[in-house]
Structure 1
Amino acid sequence: MPRLDLHVSTIIAKKFNYINIPMGYDDSFYNLDPTQSIKKVDQPILERVKHKIGQYKFTVAYAGTIGKANRVEDLLLAVQYLPPDTGIFIIGKGPLKDELVESYAENVNIHFFEPVSKESLPRVLSNFDILVNMWDDKNIYRFGVSPNKWIDYMLSSRPILVSFNGYQSIINDSGCGWFIKAKDPKLLASKIEEIRLEYTPEELSDIGKLGFDYVIKELNYKSLTKKISENLDSLQKR
């Protein structure tokens, strides 16, 4: 939580030192080299994704758990406000997946896929125009969040649209996407359409690249470890 200090200050009366270390990136974990094949188990999913993408002028993807807190249905409800040349792709599993697959089975613009290994996920996500991440509206989010999903998304070099009412960080720090109000499918659709109309594919790629560069430079474990070390050193010198 980037602003956990605001909460701590309501509990601890005396002055305290605080440093935020967000979710980090392990450069030995992901397969980001486009000249290398992704994991064999993920290859069929990637091929199916690429086949479906060809049917649309604009594609939107969500990857991750499909549960109540993930607000995936906000995206599915937004489809009714989007033009038919926009495809919605859901990659993952979770307690609500079967229910949503059944409920939206007749909507030909919505496509569900099996989960992809974390190692291959950025390579798969790099095929879409934008990525989305929906959140519930919880009071604790006012202190911010640092989800590993954003690392996966940013490493795909694609722009990110987040529906979130809490303290904003990482996405806006890097300039790789947008925040909008949570729990509003119509607003979500409106923003998706706005992005589709106002940005060229090249401009979207440039925005997405900002996220990739930010993760590589600012969120790798070496940089985060250095930040901790420098702050501890400064405390010892006081």
Structure 2
Amino acid sequence: MKTIWILNHYASMNGGRHYKYAENLIKRGYSVKVFRASTVHNTNQNLITDSSKKYTYREANNIPFVIVRARNYVGNGKQRLLNMVDYAQGLLSVTKYFDDEKPDIIYSSSVHPLTWLAGYRLAKRYNAKFIAETRDLWPETLVAMGRVSKNSIPAKILYKIERFIYKKADKLIFTFPGGKDYVESIGLDTSKVRYINNGIDLEEFNHNKVTYILEDRQLDDSGIFKVLFTGAIGKANALYRIVDVARIFIDKGITDIKFYIYGDGPEKDNLQNYVLDNNIKNVIFKGRVDKKYIPYILSKGDLNVLCLEHLPNLFKYGLSPNKMFDYFASGRPIVSNVECGYDMLEKYRCGITVKGGSAEALAEGILKFYNMPKEEYNIYCKNAFEAARDFDFKILTDKLEKVLLED
């Protein structure tokens, strides 16, 4: 069977997209290695503290991980850019220690394009098939969020790298359904484009739901309509919208709808302080919990909320947030403020996407489920379960394997 090297700067060693692909491909007889950076994103942790070591090797659930040394960083400034450079340069040197296991396939996944460039060079070195995966459009996402100007020098460099990689890759994988539309919009050949979204390990999710129980009186309160959010609390998640909705409900005298927010991130303290200072009692920050508890937590809710900044020109290509697949698997409906192309909530009829991105629109969407007859609500729940089946990682690995074996 073929030897596959997966390059992902931020690959997790306890779950996630490339962990699951590696796990499933190894079971199918492939030889797989995952190359990741030594830094752990959004923490101060570095898996290599000895600066003289270029890499270290670990196995997680029989999955080989090659950990490439990269410097620590905080935020999104110069040090993070240098961290990306460390990883990309490190890949080119560290992989030489594994020359006796030459890869047949280099599967190089963004977020940042330096991983692609390293992957391209490695594919040339080993005469391997080169698969480039896009999980976020860089610099298109940065431009849409106003972080860089489309005509700035950094943006022009990133666009140039993007076009180069899209031309040189043997296959292009996009995690959002409109990848082909995007490639066509920049005037390139779409015949190499394949779509494989993010997903969920349903067997693991259902096991964790009944195994890892979190005692919480608020979750057990059947008199409260519980709206749940899980994940990062950053600017991109626009959780201030949820706080605004909570205030609308307070003003309307609705006391039996509460928002439970699980997670951490740079905006948590600001939001939490605002909620406390303004006596917004229907928003409760639960903090970060181990991911194994998420299935149980979601099973106790009534409605899941997906919230992002209002960027319709970016999201016209579709969505792939990891939390959406947890939400599907929970068998609870989703309300979203993210207007997007290829809307999966609409496709599977497992939720509602409100228009305009306003707090008032999101409040109306939540109230629709709050007031919904039980029979109709149960249909949404059933449809969410059905959606999850299409995104089980075993199904997604079938799709990936097909791409790996294509000429």
Deviations 1:5-54 (A, max 9, x none): 111113344452432111122245435465x4306xxx2xx424325x34
Q: 2:238 aligned with 1:71, yes or no?
A: yes
Once the two structures are TM-superposed, the CA of residue 162 in structure 1 deviates from its matched residue by: 0.8
Contact 1:77–1:185, Cα closer than 8 Å, also in 2: yes
Identify the residue that residue 207 of structure 1 maps to in structure 2: 380
Could you tell me which amino acid in structure 2 is paired with residue 116 of structure 1?
V
**Structure 1 residues 37 and 10, CA, compared in 2 at 3 Å: closer, same or farther?**
closer
Displacement after TM superposition at 1:166 (Å): 2.0
Corresponding residue for residue 114 of structure 1: 287
**Percent of aligned positions with the same letter in both sequences?**
27
Instruction: Report what 1:86 is aligned to.
Output: 257
Which residue does the alignment assign to 2:325? 151
- Over aligned residue pairs, what C-alpha RMSD do you find? 2.3
The reply on whether 1:186 has 2:353 as its aligned counterpart is: no
Q: TM-score, length-normalised on structure 2?
A: 0.51
Q: Which structure would you say has the larger Rg?
A: 2
1:30: which partner in 2? 205
2:394 maps to 1:227:
no
Name the TM-score, length of structure 1 as normaliser.
Answer: 0.83
Instruction: Give yes or no for the alignment of 1:49 onto 2:218.
Output: yes
Task: Flag structure 2 segments of 5+ consecutive residues without an equivalent.
Answer: 1-175
Conserved? CA contact 1:174–1:210, under 8 Å: yes
Deviation of 1:229 after TM superposition, in Å, equals: 4.7
SS at 1:172 equivalent: helix
Q: Judging by fraction of residues, say which structure has more strand.
A: 2
CA deviation vs aligned residue, 1:117-156 (integer Å, no higher than 9, x gap): 2222121111111111111122321111111110111111
Partner AA of 1:94 in structure 2: G
What amino acid sits opposite 2:304 in the alignment? L
1:194 deviation in Å? 2.1
Once residues 22 and 129 of structure 1 are traced to their aligned partners in structure 2, the CA distance between those partners, rounded to angstroms, is 25
- Whether the aligned pair in 2 keeps the contact of 1:30 and 1:120 (CA below 8 Å) is no
Tell me if structure 2 keeps the 8 A contact 1:88–1:109: yes
Aligned counterparts of 2:201 and 2:368: Cα–Cα separation in 1: 34
Q: Post-superposition shift, 1:220?
A: 1.6
CA distance in structure 2 between the partners assigned to 1:15 and 1:38 by the alignment = 44
Q: CA deviation at 1:175?
A: 1.7
Deviates more, 1:154-163 or 1:16-25: 16-25
Paired positions, count? 225
Q: 1:3 to 1:144 in 2, by over 3 A?
A: same
Task: Say if 1:119 and 1:8 are closer, same or farther in 2 by CA, change over 3 A.
Answer: same
Q: Secondary structure at the match of 1:116?
A: coil
The structural deviation recorded for 1:211 is 1.4
Query: How many Å separate the matches in 2 of 1:184 and 1:50?
Result: 27
1:33-88 residue CA offsets vs partner (Å, 9 max, x unmatched): 65x4306xxx2xx424325x3452x2211111111110111011112222122112
Q: For the Cα contact (< 8 Å) 1:23–1:219, is it kept in 2?
A: yes
Q: Helix, strand or coil for the counterpart of 2:218?
A: helix
Q: Residue 96 of structure 1 corresponds to which residue in structure 2?
A: 267
Gaps of 5+ in 1: none
